[in-house]
Amino acid sequence: MPFVSPLSAPALATARPQDAPPGATTRARPAVVLALIAAGGLAAISLWWYGTPAIHGLGDWLTNAGRVTGLLAGYGVVVLVALMARLPPLERGIGADRLARWHAMGGRYTVGLIVAHALLIIWGYAVSAHTTVVSQTKTLLVSYPDVLAATAGGLLLAGVGISSARAARRRLRYETWYYLHFYTYLAVALAFSHQFASGAEFISSLPARIAWGGMYAAVAAAIGWYRFVTPARQAVRHRLRVAAVEPEAPGVVSVVIAGRHLDELRAESGHFFRWRFLTRGLWWVSSPYSLSAAPRPDRLRITVKALGDHSSALAGLRPGTPVLAEGPYGALTGAARRRRKVLLIAGGVGITPLRALFETLPADPGDITLIYRASDDRDVVFRRELEQLARQRRSRLWFATGRRAELGADPLAPAVLLANVPGLARHDVYLCGPPGMTAAVIRSLRTAGVPRRQIHRESFAF
C-alpha cells in the first residue's frame, strides 16, 4: 500500500512555532553567521592589539605574528567545533552539507594557522634570544608550561586534517574517518591550557581569560547538549521502532519507523535524521537519511538505496528493532521558500526529500512541478505515490528517464526547462541528486535566469 497520507497530511506540518522548545524553529541566516564568525576573529585579534604596546626588531615582529596566528587558531578550533555541534538554528538555516563545507574549509585554514603559530613563535624567540631554531624548539618543549601537550594536540589536529583530505577520504571507510575525527576533541583539550599558561594576552588579563574560557565552555556545553543529551532524551521520549521494511525498486527499500509523540520533534518535509539501528552490525554507525514522506505523529518513513554496508543492511531489518534518531536536520524545507511557484528536481534516490515536499508544500493547483530524473524506468521509486499526489494536488509531474546517450538531448538543459516550466525564473527550485547532476542543473537554471537565492539544494555526499 503506497504511503500517501490523506490530504490532511499538511496538518502536521502546520504545528505552531510558539509551542516549540527554544531555538527549535529558529533558522540562522548564512550571511549573519559568517559576519558573526568574522567579528569573533576581529575580537580575538583585538586582544593582541590592546595587549601589545610596541614592536621592535625582527624577533619581536615574528613573535607577535606568532601570537596573532595563535589567537586565530585558538578561536578557529572553537568555530570549527561549534559548526558541527548540531545547533538547531544552524542545522535548519544553513544545512548540514553547507556547514560541512564551511567546516572543511575552516579546518584547512585553522591547521595552517596552527603550523604558522608554532613556526613563528619558535623563530621569533630564537631571533630574540640569539639562539638556533633547534635549541629554541627544545627549550619551548621542555621548559614552557603545557607546550608539549599543545604540540601533541597540534599534531593530532594536523593528522585529523590530513585524514580528511579528499585523497585520504577516498581510501578510508566513512566510519573510520568519522571515529578518527573524535580525536579533534582530545586535541583541543590538550592544546587548551597552554593558551592561558603561555599566552601573553591571557597571563595579564582576567577578563580575557574569562571571555576565552567562557567561549570554550559554551561550545563544550552545546556539544554535550545537542550531540549527547538531546538524542538520549529523544530516545527515551519517542521510543522509535522499525515498523515495516518495504521494497520500492531494485536495491531500494523503505523503512517505516513508528514511535510516540513524534510531532514534538518538529520534523518537516525535506528534513533528514541521523539514524542508528540498534541491531548487530549496525548499532555503532549512524547514517543520514531524509524523510521520504510527510512526518506523522506516530510514524516516519525513510527510503534507502543500497550503496555500501549500512544502506544495504537496512533491507534485512526486523520489525521491532529499536532505533535512535538524531535530528531533525537540514535546510531543504518549506521555510526556504520565497515564491508561490515551486519546481522540484530530483535525481535518483535524491527523490526522497522532494517526495515529502511534493506532498506537503502548501500550493494552489499548478503551482508545483516535480521533475524526476532517472537513468532507467525501473529505477523510478514511488511512481504510484507521485502520480496519486499529483492527481490529488493537481500538481505537475514529469518523469525524465533514460540514459543521456539514448535521449540525445539533456532533458534538463536550459531551453528544455524554459519550454516546459512556464515562468521558470519566478520559481523556487528544490534540487537533490548526484553531485554531477545537481551541478549541471544549477548551471542550467542560472542560464535560464533563475536567481541563485531561489535555488535550494541538498547533497547526499558530504
Ligand X SMILES: Cc1cc2nc3c(=O)[nH]c(=O)nc-3n(C[C@H](O)[C@H](O)[C@H](O)COP(=O)(O)OP(=O)(O)OC[C@H]3O[C@@H](n4cnc5c(N)ncnc54)[C@H](O)[C@@H]3O)c2cc1C
Residue number of the CB atom closest to ligand X: 308
Phi, psi of 128 (to 5 degrees): -65, -35
Nearest-approach distance from CB 397 to ligand X, in angstroms: 19
Residue 195 to residue 183: CA distance in whole angstroms: 19
Nearest-approach distance from CB 174 to ligand X, in angstroms: 3
Half-sphere exposure of 158 (CA within 13 A, CB side): 12
Which CB atom, from 80 or from 121, has the smaller least distance to ligand X? 80
Nearest-approach distance from CB 287 to ligand X, in angstroms: 4
Nearest-approach distance from CB 313 to ligand X, in angstroms: 8
Nearest-approach distance from CB 349 to ligand X, in angstroms: 4
- Beta-carbon contacts of 334 under 8 Å, excluding residues fewer than 6 positions away, are 13, 268, 269, 270, 357, 360, 361, 362
Which CB atom, from 352 or from 454, has the smaller least distance to ligand X? 352
Contact residues for ligand X (CB under 6 A)?
96, 173-174, 272, 287-290, 302-305, 307-312, 349, 352, 458, 460-462
Nearest-approach distance from CB 27 to ligand X, in angstroms: 17
Which CB atom, from 50 or from 179, has the smaller least distance to ligand X? 179
Which CB atom, from 157 or from 282, has the smaller least distance to ligand X? 282
The CA-CA-CA angle for residues 210, 211, 214, to 5°, reads 80
Crossing angle for the helix pair 206-223 and 57-83, nearest 10 degrees?
Answer: 30
Report yes or no: 355 and 272 within 8 Å, Cβ to Cβ. no
Instruction: State the cell numbers at 93.
Output: 538555516
Please provide the DSSP assignment of 365-429 as one string: TTSEEEEEEESSGGG--SHHHHHHHHHHHT-EEEEEES-HHHHSS-TTSHHHHHHHSTTGGGEEE
Nearest-approach distance from CB 306 to ligand X, in angstroms: 7
For 22-44, letters b (16+ CB in 10 Å) and e give: eeebebbebeebeeebeebeeeb
Which CB atom, from 268 or from 458, has the smaller least distance to ligand X? 458
Which CB atom, from 341 or from 456, has the smaller least distance to ligand X? 456
Which CB atom, from 63 or from 321, has the smaller least distance to ligand X? 321
Taking the C-alpha atoms of 364, 367, 373 and 379 in order, what is their torsion angle to the nearest 10 degrees? 10
